[in-house]
Structure 1
Amino acid sequence: MFRFAQLGSNLYTGRTSVPFIPRKRLWLSLSAALVVLSLIAPLLMGGLKLGIDFRGGSEFTVSNTASTDIETGEDAVAQSTGAEQTVVTNIAANTVRVQTEQLDDEETLAVRDALQQAYDVEEGDVTSTFVGPTWGQGVTRQALWGLVVFVALATIGMALYFRTFKMSISAMAGLLFTVITTAGAYAVSGYEVTPSAIIGFLTILSYSLYDSVVVFDKIRENTKDLEHNARRTFAQEVNLAVNQTLVRSINTSVVGILPVGAILFVGAMLLGAGTLQDLSLALFIGIIMGTLGTLFVSAPIYAVLRQREPAVREQAERLERGEIEEAAEDEAGEPAEETPGESEGEQEVQPIPRMDPSGRDRPDNGAVV
């Protein structure tokens, strides 16, 4: 713990530094490759596995089962109708949910009877519902519109808050990186895309923006009055700001991952709460990718967008020539030149200003420097 605290202190003061900005080309190249891989992976696996709420289909719920074995339900559906798109989930204690492609009335009765016999339950313990493709298309359309509206409002809001579109564009780039990579990892896992997963995706968008705002606030603080900065260039100040907020970003992500990981691994996988799998998996992956997106995408892109500005380039050139240091010394004040006829021992005696109780300066006669 002491070493971690010391590391945080060294990162904040600049004694230790992770090269986020100096190696921005490397990080952006790796991020771009990860985005491409995330787009290709679902295509290689046949696309995203949409849930019944998006594609439509038939759903059966089997209650009071002595066993919640998933293969039992899959075999029952396959033997009764031969349906290929079958998903069996343990949604609660002694309760199984079976989702299939769209079935007609005869096939629905056949699957219901097969599930009743396979799980050895009463006829009333098996219920069936139907979700039409039109309703599923409506859900898909509303989800896409929600994403578009969220991104648009977030872009405008961040531009107004930071008073520059360059920070807003950089944050949106990190946001897209988070969404695409999370969706790619979600698709590789083989989980269905359900309304709960969409809620998880929207939640991680908010987390990604929150992390970006924290880092960009520090960047804005470090780079204000850049033309008078005699210590570091713009790129160096951005890199320092990212390092100064690094410990906070890690702590925030860890605090978010711990409860989500408990839901995913303990609740969903060990206890069998299948309804939590899609939501918790989306959150678990998204929190990690959101943190990486801010550090390795948003901040480097912002540095790239600003480094070509004339003022930023001029400040870097002046700092390299040492002109800002001289200007800083002049502003701090050099000893005044002696006027003709005035010797060192004949300097004027100046009173020391003091403060009266009201807070105004008050000279104290007789006090000398």
Structure 2
Amino acid sequence: MSKLGNLGARLHRGEISYDFIGHRKIWYGVSILITITAIVGLAVRGLHLGIDFQGGAVFTTPKTSVSVAQAERYAESAAGHDAVVQELGTGGMRIQIAGVDTQKSDAIKDSLAKDLQLNPEKINADLVGPSWGEQVANKAWEGLAIFMVLVVIYLAIAFEWRMAVAALVALIHDITITTGVYALVGFEVTPGTVIGLLTILGYSLYDTVVVFDSLKEQTKDITKQTRFTYSDIANQSINGTLVRSINTTVVALLPVAGLLFIGGGVLGAGTLNDISLSLFVGLAAGAYSSIFIATPLVADLKEREPQMKALRKRVLAKRAQAAAEGELADGRSAGVIGHPDDAAPAVVGPRDQSAPRTRGRGRPSGKRR
């Protein structure tokens, strides 16, 4: 831990750094590849919407000895199409069947009671109409759109419009990847998934705003100096907050991973999968986008400004001049040491020095007695 702390301190002071901005084309390419994969997954497989979005029936059973696979076969046989079965912590099951009306729900309930060897009265059936599901879906999209608009307005006021655009691109990147993973994995999309998406978007913004705040502070009087370009300072901002971003992401991922892999995978609490998967994928994608997408994109946009172009020319010219002077100094040094014929004759004897001033030495002070 002490080594990690020392590394973070050295990154913050600028003693060491990694050129994130210089390799931004690599990060853009990786992000485009992942995004295309997510879009293909959405187009081919689609999202597995829960009954809260498309309507249907939910049957909750008491504790039973029937396995989840058997219950799924019984439910699909009774409904005539796919069903989702999740094991509850009480030993019972939650069976979801889409596109079911009241009359068909009663028939499915009787069939399940017979197959599961349970009393029909002990099976709880809840119906969700298609209009309710459509309303939930519309509200989810409205909430997401309002969130995006408020984010852009806030960042444009607190920072500038380029940072707002970069943050918006990063958020769309995170949403696309998370929903694409849902399509590829086949997890059910529920209102908990929407809550998870909004949560990870806020977390992604937190990391992004931390870097943007550091960048804004360091670029106040950037045009008054000729040492660094805007991309150089952007790279310093990323490196200065890198360890903090890694630490907060790891700490946030650990409990979410426990929910997803232990709670949902090992213990079989399937109701945790919908929110835990969106949190896990979204947190990782958000940390990636704040470092590799948002800040490099801001640097690209800023470097297009006339002032930043002029600053880059001055900085590069000064660096070229310093390099030329350094090469000239090295050449002179090498000429004196390695090639005496090419340089001015070196002084090998003692140099003529002016006689030391000895006036007053050994004499008493000027005060007369």
C-alpha deviations, 1:116-163, integer Å up to 9, x for none? Answer: 23333222221212211111111111100111011001100111111x
**Partner residue, 2:50:** 51
1:142 counterpart letter in structure 2? K
- Which moves more between the two structures, 31-40 or 139-148? 31-40
State the distance in 2 between where 1:205 and 1:68 align: 40
Q: Which SS does the other structure have where 1:103 is aligned?
A: coil
**Partner residue, 2:84:** 87
**1:223 to 1:111, Cα distance in 2 relative to 1, 3 A:** same
C-alpha deviations, 1:214-273, integer Å up to 9, x for none? Answer: 010111122221012343211111011101111011111111111111122222222222
**Partner residue, 2:7:** 7
State the distance in 2 between where 1:4 and 1:320 align: 34
Instruction: Determine if the alignment matches structure 1 residue 297 to structure 2 residue 280.
Output: no
C-alpha deviations, 1:32-90, integer Å up to 9, x for none? Answer: 22112111112222x11110000111221111x233621122111233342x2311112
Cα contact 2:102–2:127 (8 A) shared by 1? no
Q: Which SS does the other structure have where 1:186 is aligned?
A: helix
**Structure 2: unaligned runs, 5 residues or longer:** 323-369
**Partner residue, 1:241:** 237
**Partner residue, 2:192:** 196
The offset of 1:105, in angstroms, is 4.7
**114, 118, 121: which one pairs with 1:124?**
121
State the distance in 2 between where 1:252 and 1:293 align: 15
Q: Identity over aligned residues, as a percent? A: 37
Instruction: Determine if the alignment matches structure 1 residue 35 to structure 2 residue 35.
Output: yes
Instruction: Determine if the alignment matches structure 1 residue 75 to structure 2 residue 77.
Output: no
Cα contact 2:79–2:97 (8 A) shared by 1? no
**Partner residue, 1:320:** 316
**Partner residue, 1:219:** 215
Instruction: Determine if the alignment matches structure 1 residue 287 to structure 2 residue 283.
Output: yes
**Partner residue, 1:346:** none
Q: Which SS does the other structure have where 1:100 is aligned?
A: strand
* Higher gyration radius (CA): 2
Once superposed, what is the RMSD of the aligned Cα atoms? 2.0
**Partner residue, 1:60:** 59
C-alpha deviations, 1:97-122, integer Å up to 9, x for none? Answer: 11112234553233212322333322
2:14 counterpart letter in structure 1? G
1:80 counterpart letter in structure 2? A
Name the TM-score, length of structure 2 as normaliser. 0.83
**Partner residue, 1:26:** 26
**1:68 to 1:151, Cα distance in 2 relative to 1, 3 A:** farther
2:142 counterpart letter in structure 1? W
- Which moves more between the two structures, 117-126 or 148-157? 117-126
The offset of 1:274, in angstroms, is 2.0
State the distance in 1 between where 2:82 and 2:287 align: 35
State the distance in 2 between where 1:169 and 1:236 align: 20
**149, 152, 155: which one pairs with 1:152?**
149
The offset of 1:7, in angstroms, is 2.1
**Partner residue, 1:110:** 107
**Structure 1: unaligned runs, 5 residues or longer:** 327-369
Name the TM-score, length of structure 1 as normaliser. 0.83
Q: Which SS does the other structure have where 2:88 is aligned?
A: strand
State the distance in 2 between where 1:102 and 1:180 align: 27
State the distance in 2 between where 1:68 and 1:231 align: 72
1:320 counterpart letter in structure 2? L
- Which moves more between the two structures, 33-42 or 192-201? 33-42
2:130 counterpart letter in structure 1? P
C-alpha deviations, 1:181-212, integer Å up to 9, x for none? Answer: 11111221110110000000011111111111
Q: Which SS does the other structure have where 1:97 is aligned?
A: strand
**Partner residue, 1:136:** 133
**1:68 to 1:250, Cα distance in 2 relative to 1, 3 A:** farther
State the distance in 1 between where 2:269 and 2:122 align: 19
**1:147 to 1:291, Cα distance in 2 relative to 1, 3 A:** same
Q: Which SS does the other structure have where 1:170 is aligned?
A: helix
The offset of 1:319, in angstroms, is 2.0
State the distance in 2 between where 1:208 and 1:234 align: 23
State the distance in 2 between where 1:217 and 1:104 align: 54
- Which moves more between the two structures, 165-174 or 1-10? 1-10
State the distance in 2 between where 1:6 and 1:199 align: 37
Q: Which SS does the other structure have where 1:253 is aligned?
A: helix
State the distance in 2 between where 1:33 and 1:79 align: 40
**1:132 to 1:105, Cα distance in 2 relative to 1, 3 A:** closer
State the distance in 2 between where 1:159 and 1:260 align: 32
